[in-house]
Structure 1
């Protein structure tokens, strides 16, 4: 974990009067319902504490009334916190005056709303450029940047259209492009996909993940949908009655719920949507090095009782699969090293691949699936038995396994 970009320090929001009395009740362990019954005020957020790393897609989730949207709006002070502090990149924004806060938002934060909030009398490009217009960017420059962002979200060529000509999913892409056009460090997304049909919603989730892979923004995403949170979140903060009851990686929350409420909340989750290749892969052994002697390579396979093995270079980059038969042929041809042999290409998966997408690949493969990072380095191997073991036990040691 690096230095946090956003730090939320005991943030509380009380709606209504008598805030000091409400804060005292909360300090003495009273809950939201007790405060409302005694004082007639509502606790939106109760002493929220967490941090968000730069480049992280952080999901705040909970049921209706849990305080998640209130907390999001506290992050940019659309709602003023009653107490606590919010530090963004070293600046405590709760101490900024109105003008400084406005400048800070323009430079560091953009927001995408559930309702698309597009201006109907402006074209798509003009909607995307609206924030830049507020900042005083010249027309030619802002429209150029708007077209660039529309291309990024898959709406190239739609700049001259009006919002009413677009589908709901396309309108939400315009909202996302508008937020991206400001080129801020942080995107705040308040149930941005909740109003969309399921198939369009799934497409937008995939689009967001693709954009995040390219742009590496810091995203705070609000949702009431557990499956959406599990799909999108690097980490998740789960809220109930204004309280952040647990923060952690999706698999941590599923495997180690903090209390009975979290356990009930995540009960019945499809683990194939949560666990990834990195969670269930095994350490590859033995491996053949490209500069191993051919006889050494064949010996490694014979000792392990294998008919083939994976070949890597000195930096652990996967080169492919070589069979014992190919090594024997190489010996008969008096070849020197494994790299001179017939090395076959193989299907690979990245560590983030979820198990839902792995099943058909594992079933169809005649060899364990190599888990290879984006830089080409071999991280581990996936066997059918490893996936079944993970579903059964949700854990366990990653022992050395054979490669065939």
Structure 2
């Protein structure tokens, strides 16, 4: 395949959405005198060395990243990588040891109890792995629960709950109880409950890992559909690479509490930051993730200039039919500018891998 550096394949410059959640130097250390670890020589120790020397475990290590308005930001890693602890720190379900969590510029770590409750009620919502539905309440009551806690009038909260019930495809199930629903349907109720409060940021903590594969796939499609319809900022925690690639606008890979790489799906697959990420993505169908930007080559003087045109961000698998049928190089064009060309040779090299 044509060698391409990460700088060469970065997506074209475009106005970026503002950062909604800005995380700076975030630490969560468990153990005695945990606060002494960040900023000290102990912070440079490996997880095993820190445990041996100080009796502490750094579940999140100096995490710095920003989540943009309206994006699906996926945090991925193996068990023990720190991803679930991280999301709990962002909502202060677990208190961070050090660092800042800025929501629209406001440091959540400095919020008092009353202010934090208001943030959780009005600006954050979470979808859990194990649904967390109230078994003695009907589906509609479960969906309306967050609005009830907020103090919304009964008529208004049930009207909103009914709207969300329809949105997640459960019309007619409002009078059922959770144990009368399948696992996938229960998770839809949890999703409707989170959306009902119209949060600014929606957190998903491995919500589909307990579901059967077919139901899990359906729920992933449901998240994509809902994101396209309501445009919420979503932070999605998963250990499943296929899920991360399918859902994420950007993916953050964690290992031993530290951030290893942040990038778009094609950047993570096409330019893994180290051997850990490279092993993670080794079985991925690259043609289904990488775009023409990754395989295009500079045009040569003898290349015909009247071939078909495709955009640089067309996925290789989607472009394969056009490229392989063309009797001349396909021109990769953006904004009227010729960026490069692609021929069957470049397509087949990716497929052969």
**TM-score over 0.5 (shorter chain):** yes
Q: Distance in 2 between matches of 1:92 and 1:393?
A: 50
Instruction: Identify which of 154, 178, 201 aligns with 1:139.
Output: 154
Mind listing any 5+ residue stretches in structure 1 that lack a counterpart?
284-302, 311-348, 395-404
Q: State the match for 1:169 in structure 2.
A: 184
For residues 381-400 of structure 1, what are the structure 2 equivalents within 5 Å? Answer: 385=344, 388=347, 391=350
Across the aligned residues of Structure 1 and Structure 2, the Cα RMSD in angstroms comes to: 3.4
Q: State the match for 2:222 in structure 1.
A: 207
Q: Distance in 1 between matches of 2:199 and 2:32?
A: 35
SS at match of 1:177: helix
Distance 1:178 1:270, change over 3 A: same
Q: State the match for 1:247 in structure 2.
A: 262
Larger radius of gyration: 1
Instruction: Identify which of 206, 214, 219 aligns with 2:234.
Output: 219
Q: Distance in 2 between matches of 1:216 and 1:278?
A: 27
Could you tell me how far 1:382 is from its partner in structure 2? 11
CA contact (8 A) 1:362 1:382 kept: no
TM-score by length of 1: 0.73
Moved more, 353-362 or 178-187: 353-362
CA contact (8 A) 2:77 2:83 kept: yes
CA contact (8 A) 1:56 1:217 kept: yes
**RCO higher in 1 or 2 (8 Å CA, sep ≥ 6)?**
2
Moved over 4 A (4+): 24-28, 276-283, 303-306, 349-371, 379-384
Q: Distance in 1 between matches of 2:327 and 2:188?
A: 41
TM-score by length of 2: 0.83
Instruction: Identify which of 223, 244, 248 aligns with 1:229.
Output: 244
Distance 1:28 1:11, change over 3 A: closer
Q: Distance in 2 between matches of 1:148 and 1:382?
A: 48
Q: State the match for 1:59 in structure 2.
A: 74
CA contact (8 A) 2:316 2:347 kept: no
Distance 1:257 1:366, change over 3 A: closer
Q: State the match for 1:265 in structure 2.
A: 280
Could you tell me how far 1:53 is from its partner in structure 2? 0.6
Give a deviation string over 1:297-352, Cα, whole Å, max 9, x none: xxxxxx9778xx89xxxxxxxxxxxxxxxxxxxxxxxxxxxxxxxxxxxxxx9997
Q: State the match for 1:108 in structure 2.
A: 123
For residues 82-121 of structure 1, what are the structure 2 equivalents within 5 Å? Answer: 82-121=97-136
SS at match of 2:63: strand
Q: Distance in 2 between matches of 1:34 and 1:25?
A: 14
For residues 15-94 of structure 1, what are the structure 2 equivalents within 5 Å? Answer: 15-23=30-38, 29-94=44-109
Number of equivalences: 331
CA contact (8 A) 1:26 1:46 kept: no
Moved more, 65-74 or 356-365: 356-365
CA contact (8 A) 1:368 1:381 kept: no
CA contact (8 A) 1:25 1:35 kept: no
Q: Distance in 2 between matches of 1:353 and 1:146?
A: 39
Q: State the match for 1:192 in structure 2.
A: 207
